[in-house]
Structure 1
Amino acid sequence: MALPAQDECTVPAVVLTDLDRQPLEQSLDGMQTLLDRHERVIVVHSAAAPAAVHRRLHTVRSLLESDRIALFRPELPPLGIAVLARQLRQLAFCGTDPGVLASAGRLFTHYVHCGAVLNSVIRLDRVPVGLKAHAKSWMPSSRFGVLAHPTPQVVLLGPDATLTGPEYGSWMLVAKGKLESDWVGTTLAPAWNMLGLREVALPAESVAWWGTGKLVEFCTYLHNPLILQQLVTSARRSACHWCGIDVIGDLCVFCSTTVPAHDQPVSAGHTSSE
């Protein structure tokens, strides 16, 4: 989940390992150390992680009684989550306010395309799969192109196979599992007019998310940190009325409070005199 730094301006990540196996006291001490060292902590984690990991994170946050811990679990494949985590690390170097930084992950989710090439979709339960694709999965030579986000798609790979890509300049990350396929690099990336392509290690949660270890996972992303800053700067900010920090959007990721809308509709029969 912690991708290599893209440049010298990407702050290091702290990897929380073995949360579901270590004693609770060790998890509490580790998180308290981070809080003592930093103003706030943003934990980016995957829905494919074991349920015990999610329970431990919520337990730690509850026992520490801290609204300085944000738990961010986007409904994306693991490689997409890893991309978002690195983008937040890039923004953190710029001194972005913690509330804005935490909620920027939700904003950046709209600018990633996540998918994979799979040898089978029989165990894929996070993307709608038709009966025809299920039947084709029993054929040993079958390969499927799957787009999980933003719009789910499943296609049987062939000469005319295609997936809907981004309409803006993006880079692509590729993480190879136990599947021999170069379709992403030789066909999909050129069709999507990618500005560049890099290969990284497959995230540990990818096999559980996609339902098979025979896969090649990919994700597009905005490469330039200046563009990320522009997106955050142009987004409307609100002040959380509970903890007082600035956030983007309608939810404070730290205290989970819904931020009131700025513009309330005028009640029927009410007129304004100015």
Structure 2
Amino acid sequence: MPIAIAVTSADLVLPPTDQHTPGAHVLTPPGQQDFAAALAEVGALLQRHGYLIALYPATTPRAHVQRLHAVRAMLESDRIALLPSALPPLGTAVLVRQLRQLSVCDFSPGVLGAAARLLAHYIYAGALLGSAARLDRLPVALPQPVPGGARPPAGQCAVLAGPTPQLVQADGEGALAGPQFSTALTYAPGSLGSEWVTGRLARQWHVQAVHPVPMPASSATWWATPKIVEFAAAIPDVSLLYQMVSSVRQEACHWCGLTLIGDRCAFCSAPVAQPERRPRAIAAGAGARRRALAPGAGRAG
């Protein structure tokens, strides 16, 4: 049975890209169940799957996050990983889908949980906005007034939230920095036209495919405007995702004993015990990931 992947809202569960990708469990919010029912819900997932990895946006209401931690504490379980995501809503949903793809592979729970931080760095998540005047969530500079005190040019803005925040005028000459590896573009049409995303952006980023999905409910709040088309480019091929994760040096968590990658355990939050070995491991992992993403890389066995 695959490791259970759980989310805090149904719009974080995107359609699968292949017939082997399992679904994700949508955890019931606090306003719709009492605490005893929440314990039973999570307990049943653990009994069936053994381990649970729950992803939630960093903007999730505090009451819901507190409920998640309270359930974990009451169950006294080190088999539950609670992972906040700083990506925009659609980017978080794409990350969830990648973890769903990898959950059927032969990764241990600790490696799969820690893979969320790694994969998030390779998701290019952004949006086309009708206006960025109220966007204060990202460290991007708004268009500056032209000499003479005139107002900045009006028009739609294209904003990249990660890996590196960036803002450009959609009708200008600037371009969003895109991935240097093959991706598929998932986008959520909103009240704006999607032609810029499916046309100009898709061509600039050389995406393999374009997939429309419904707009997440929290996107308008995240981007501070209802006039939006959200998008996220990411690696769709599970074999490449597998190579990326498996190329990183694995460590044993000195606290809970799980095997992990990176510098922190996703289940108990303990850091890797030997930091002097970390630079070499990171350098080796980065080189292996570059090789895995190179054109013509083979599929995992």
Asked whether the two chains share a fold, i.e. TM above 0.5, the reply is yes
Distance 1:214 1:241, change over 3 A: same
Q: 5+ unaligned residues in a row in structure 1: which ranges? A: 266-274
Q: Distance in 2 between matches of 1:133 and 1:148?
A: 20
2:103 is paired with a residue of what secondary structure? helix
What is the root-mean-square deviation of aligned Cα atoms in Å? 2.2
CA distance in 2 between partners of 1:64 and 1:133 (Å): 53
The one of 118, 125, 128 equivalent to 1:107 is 118
Q: What does residue 179 of structure 1 align with?
A: 192
Structure 1 residues 56 and 123: CA distance shift in structure 2, 3 A: farther
What is the 5 A alignment of 1:210-221? 210-221=223-234
Aligned to 2:247: 234
Paired with 1:19 and 1:257, the residues of 2 have a C-alpha distance of: 28
> Secondary structure in 1 aligned to 2:273?
coil
2:74 paired with 1:63: yes
State whether residues 20 and 52 of structure 1, in contact with CA within 8 Å, keep that contact through their aligned partners in structure 2.
Answer: no
Aligned to 1:28: 39
Deviates more, 1:113-122 or 1:172-181: 172-181
- TM-score normalized by the length of structure 1: 0.89
For 1:10 and 1:260, how far apart are their aligned partners in 2?
A: 34
Query: Residues 155 and 169 of structure 2 are in contact (CA less than 8 Å); yes or no, is this contact kept in structure 1?
Result: yes
Asked if 1:75 corresponds to 2:102, the answer is no
Q: Is the 8 A contact 2:130 2:155 kept in 1?
A: yes
Aligned-pair distance for 1:81? 0.9
- Comparing 104-113 with 21-30, greater Cα deviation is found at 21-30
How many positions carry a matched residue from both structures?
263
The answer on whether the counterparts of 2:192 and 2:227 sit within 8 Å (CA) in structure 1 is yes
In the alignment, is the contact (CA less than 8 A) between 2:129 and 2:228 conserved in 1?
A: yes
| CA-CA distance at 1:77 after TM superposition | 0.6
In the TM superposition, 1:200-211 aligns within 5 A as 200-211=213-224
1:122 aligned onto 2:133: yes
* Post-superposition offset of 1:264: 5.4
Shift of 1:131: 5.1
Q: Which runs of 5+ in 2 are unaligned?
A: 1-11, 279-301
Of 95, 99, 111, the match for 1:88? 99
CA drift of 1:32 comes to 1.0
Deviations 1:124-183 (A, max 9, x none): 221124354699xx9996211000001111112214231111111111111112222411
Instruction: State the TM-score, normalized to the length of structure 2.
Output: 0.82
Amino acid at match of 1:69: I
- Contact 2:55 / 2:84 at 8 angstroms: preserved in 1? yes
1:16 corresponds to 2:16:
no
- Give the C-alpha shift of residue 123 in structure 1: 2.7
- 1:197 aligned partner: 210
Kindly, what percent of the aligned residue pairs are identical? 44
User: After superposition, what is the alpha-carbon deviation per residue over 1:40-78, rounded to whole angstroms, capped at 9, x for unaligned?
Assistant: 100011012222211111111122221111011121111
The residue number in structure 2 matching 1:251 is: 264
- CA gap 1:42/1:134 in 2 versus in 1, 3 angstroms: farther
Amino acid of the residue matched to residue 33 of structure 1?
A
2:86 partner amino acid: E
The answer as to whether partners of 1:121 and 1:133 remain within 8 angstroms in 2 is: no
Residues 250 and 261 in structure 1, CA contact (< 8 A), matched pair in contact too: no
